[in-house]
Amino acid sequence: MPKNGAMAGNPLQPSPLQPSLLGEAPATAEPATAGTPDLAALERDCRECRRCGLAEGRQRVVVSRGDPAARLMVIGEGPGAQEDASGRPFVGRAGQLLDQMLASVGLDSERDAYVCNVVKCRPPDNRRPTPQEIAACAPWLAAQIAAVNPSVVLLAGATALEGVLGIKGGISRLRGRWHPWQGRSVMPVFHPSYLLRNPSREQGSPKWLTWQDLQEVRRRLDQDQPSTPSL
C-alpha cells in the first residue's frame, strides 16, 4: 500500500484527525487513504514549528526515525536530552531498550517501524508534556499517522495513550489489549523508561508483560501481512 500521498496537505488545517479527534474518532473509521500529506514536506514544516512554548528550550525538533513505509508505528511521549541533541526519537537508554525488545520479537526499529512521539520538542527537565502542549502538537502527529498509514500502532506509555486515544491513566490496565481505532490495531504498552526503572524479568513483571505484548504485536503484524498476488 502506498504510504506517502502526492498531495502536500497542511497539517495545521482542520482535518478528520485534528487533536481532539485523536481520541474520539469512531473505532470503525477507515484510515486516511487519499489526500494524505507529503511526509517529507510535513517533517520539514514541523522542524520550523513554534506552536507551543516547548519551542523555546529545544535544540532540535525531533520528528521521527525508522521507515515511513513500515506497517508498525511506535509513538512515545517526547524527546529527552539525547533525542533533543540528535534530532532523533528514542535514541537514549529507553530507546535502546525499545530496540532490544523489538529485536527480541524479530523487529528492527529502523526497518520495520516508524518511530515518533506525541510532542516533538523536549519538555524542560524531562517533565511530562502538558495537555496544552499535547494539543498543540497533535496536528503533527495526526498528519504523521495519516501519511504513514500504519496498520498497527504501539503506544509507549501513558502520555501516548492519552495523546492518541484520549484515555487518561490506566496504562497498567489497558496495556496488552488491542484497541481498534480508525481501522488500525492500537496497543498500549509500558514506556521503556518505566521498564528501565523496573528491570526485573520475573514472570508477571512489567518487562515480562511487555515482552508478551510485543509478541502479540508480532503475531498481529504477521496475520495482517499483505498477500502477494499470484501470477
Measured over the CA atoms of residue 143, residue 144, residue 150 and residue 154, the dihedral's sign is negative
Residue 168 sits at φ, ψ, to 5 deg, of -90, 130
Sort strands 113-117 and 72-76 into parallel, antiparallel or unpaired.
parallel
CB of 47 to ligand SF4, least distance (A): 8
- Residue 168's DSSP bridge partners are none
Question: Is the Cβ of residue 52 or residue 217 nearer to ligand SF4 in the bound state?
Answer: 52
CB of 88 to ligand SF4, least distance (A): 15
CB of 194 to ligand SF4, least distance (A): 22
CB of 66 to ligand SF4, least distance (A): 18
Question: Is the Cβ of residue 140 or residue 194 nearer to ligand SF4 in the bound state?
Answer: 140
| Footprint of ligand SF4 (CB under 6 A) | 46, 49-52, 54-55, 61, 119-121, 133, 136-137, 140
Question: Is the Cβ of residue 50 or residue 93 nearer to ligand SF4 in the bound state?
Answer: 50
Question: Is the Cβ of residue 30 or residue 48 nearer to ligand SF4 in the bound state?
Answer: 48
Question: Is the Cβ of residue 132 or residue 215 nearer to ligand SF4 in the bound state?
Answer: 132
Question: Is the Cβ of residue 46 or residue 98 nearer to ligand SF4 in the bound state?
Answer: 46
Whether 153 and 164 have beta carbons less than 8 Å apart is answered as yes
3-class SS of residue 159: helix
CB of 33 to ligand SF4, least distance (A): 26
Selection from 202, 198, 161 nearest residue 179 by Cα:
161
User: Which H helix or E strand runs over 156?
Assistant: strand 152-156
CB of 73 to ligand SF4, least distance (A): 17
Residues 6+ apart with CB under 8 A from 140: 11, 42, 46, 49, 63, 120
Selection from 82, 52, 49, 46 nearest residue 64 by Cα:
46
